[in-house]
Amino acid sequence: MLDLLADKWSALILGALEDGPMRFGEIRTRLDGISPKVLTAALRRLERHELLTRTVIPAVPLHVEYELTELGQDACVPLAALRTWVETNLPRFVAPAPLGA
């Protein structure tokens, strides 16, 4: 579970879904830089671990919404604290020295 939650994209997807259900395209827009393939894999992994649900909405065309489960909402609590810590301490981070320096 730690490996799942420590994954950059998984943590960002969970954070995006804190605001409520979203469609695939909305998540992709919110997470600038994620490819459709990586997003699909991460969503499937989170669904498999019951951190989110995938609901197919019968419309023309069909669309799918993703929403946090209770377990996913619980996981967002420590992730939000970590996000806050990073944002607060960002000025204190030192850039790593280049390799070979």
Per-residue confidence band for 29, with pLDDT thresholds at 50, 70 and 90: very high
What domains appear along the chain, each with residue ranges and CATH number? 2-81 (1.10.10.10)
Give the mean model confidence (pLDDT) for residues 18-40: 95
What is the pLDDT, as a whole number, of residue 101?
60
Residue 13 near residue 31 (C-beta atoms within 8 A): yes
> What is the residue-averaged pLDDT of the chain?
91
Using one digit for the tens of pLDDT, what is the confidence trace for 49-94? 999 999 999 988 889 999 999 999 999 999 999 888 888 888 888 7
Using one digit for the tens of pLDDT, what is the confidence trace for 40-52? 999 999 999 999 9
What is the pLDDT, as a whole number, of residue 39?
97
Put simply, whether the predicted model's pTM sits higher than 0.85 gets the answer no
Q: What angle do CA 42, 81, 14 make, to 5 degrees?
A: 20
User: Across 2-96, where does the E strand assignment appear?
Assistant: 22-23, 52-57, 63-68
